[in-house]
Structure 1
Amino acid sequence: MTRTTSEIAASLAGVEPIYDRVLALAGLLQALAQVRRIADTGEANEEILATSIETLFRFDARTTADVYGGLDKVRPGLELLRSYLAGGLDDAVLPRLAMSVLQLERRFVRDSGMVSRVRQGLEQIAHRTDLYGPTHPDLIAPIGQLYSQTLSTLRPRVLVQGNPHYLGQARVVAEVRAVLLAAVRSAVLWRQRGGSLWDFAFQRRAMLSAVDAHLGR
């Protein structure tokens, strides 16, 4: 019998932190898959885009799942993570992009001044989510600008490849940058939950089991 989201969440409550860590990694991959889609096609999946953007304004979420608005919201990312851990991910670029973001996160959190600037910048525009919604250009544009003025200045930069036709459009560039910031949010969350690159070497099987538990398998 397939378990409900609430039943899965209840069964995982209070267990090993790896269950939280795989959620954060799923959020990271889910965001970066949208970065890839936007850069290639100029269009995002509106629901997944909204999930990513909303994570930026959940400053004091009670649980890791709450950062994403619930387990169901990060299910596409869990499926991507499962494919990667099982060796069946079709997109070879996505893991490399994820590694670049994890490296960017390390440089970002070491710069306390930049962390404060990003937090303050997000707090200043948080009210726009109520005015416009999480995918409106009037919210996406300042988030993209915030990324450009802060994390984009760190070296080496995260390089996103795609269709030059779309990457030459201001709206598309703003979306890519905004979702990259959301990806960094997930990377920070992963570290806060005890994530380490060693997980990929020594915790792969446990991570896969945790993903399957979240997916109700």
Structure 2
Amino acid sequence: MATTLFDRTIAFAGICQAIKLIQGVARSGCCEHSALRISLNSIIVTNPASAFEVFGKEENLKLGLRTLINELDSRISSSELTRYLINILALERKLSGRRDSLAQLGNHLETVQRQIQHIDLLTDQMISNLASIYLEIITPLGPRIQVTGIPAQLQQIDVQHKIRALLLSGIRSAVLWHQVGGKYRHLIFGRKKMIEHAKIILTRNL
């Protein structure tokens, strides 16, 4: 798989898109359905030839690219987004170091790939299935990610399922980011270049 700045930007936009959707769901209980579908579908794209293939089209990551541009800048980055980023990247590193967990995850995702041939990905059942995978495989790896939102929303079962499914999507994009050469140092020394590249990608898809 290629390891260009384009690939790293696309993968990181995937993480940002998942986080932005989580923030929306945690506050209002809903989010943009088209972006939700793209993020959840990325989970089951397990053997992509490129980072681009995970999300289908550049325009599918508009929300993630905007989030990357608006919030990754060190001068304006929100502490909440940063906290989610750090936690997702840390969990992905733990997952990548556990062959048993990776094998389990692969088996579960094969099941989901079969299921979506008959059931739409955005049904409550499928989102619940993805949430269950997160609970079973990711949650035991480390401290739980504390999601900030409206308590009345966070108490809703369907909201909890959607958030966990989106966290799984964020981790999937973090896996991709590392596969295409993403390193922690890129967040410190390379964020300006990534922001500039995200602007280029976004501009040609307006």
Pairing partner for 2:45 from 50, 58, 69 = 58
CA RMSD of aligned residues (A): 1.9
Written as runs of structure 1 = structure 2, the 5 A alignment for 1:1-217 is 17-87=4-74, 91-216=78-203
Cα distance in 2 for partners of 1:86, 1:155 equals 28
| Cα shift readout 1:156-199 (whole Å, capped 9, x = no counterpart) | 22111222212222211111111100000000000011101101
**Which stretches of structure 1, 4 residues or longer, exceed 3 Å deviation after superposition?**
85-92
TM-score normalised over the length of structure 2: 0.92
Cα distance in 1 for partners of 2:148, 2:140 equals 18
Cα distance in 1 for partners of 2:128, 2:27 equals 19
Cα distance in 2 for partners of 1:209, 1:33 equals 20
Gaps of 5+ in 1: 1-13
Answer yes or no: is the 8 Å Cα contact 2:3–2:180 preserved in 1.
no
Cα distance in 1 for partners of 2:159, 2:93 equals 26
Cα distance in 2 for partners of 1:137, 1:21 equals 32
- Provide the identity percentage: 26
Cα distance in 2 for partners of 1:177, 1:194 equals 26
Q: Give the number of the structure whose alpha-carbon radius of gyration is greater.
A: 1
Cα distance in 2 for partners of 1:53, 1:200 equals 24
1:89 and 1:23, CA in 2 relative to 1: closer, same or farther beyond 3 A? farther
Structure 1 residue 119: Cα displacement: 1.2
Structure 1 residue 128: Cα displacement: 2.5
Structure 1 residue 137: Cα displacement: 0.8
| Cα shift readout 1:58-102 (whole Å, capped 9, x = no counterpart) | 112222111012101012111111112445757441122111101
Answer yes or no: is the 8 Å Cα contact 2:3–2:181 preserved in 1.
no
Select between 188-197 and 88-97 the one with higher mean Cα deviation. Answer: 88-97
| Cα shift readout 1:138-170 (whole Å, capped 9, x = no counterpart) | 111111011101101122221112222122222
Select between 27-36 and 16-25 the one with higher mean Cα deviation. Answer: 16-25
Cα distance in 1 for partners of 2:27, 2:77 equals 16
Answer yes or no: is the 8 Å Cα contact 1:104–1:158 preserved in 2.
no
Answer yes or no: is the 8 Å Cα contact 2:37–2:122 preserved in 1.
yes
Gaps of 5+ in 2: none
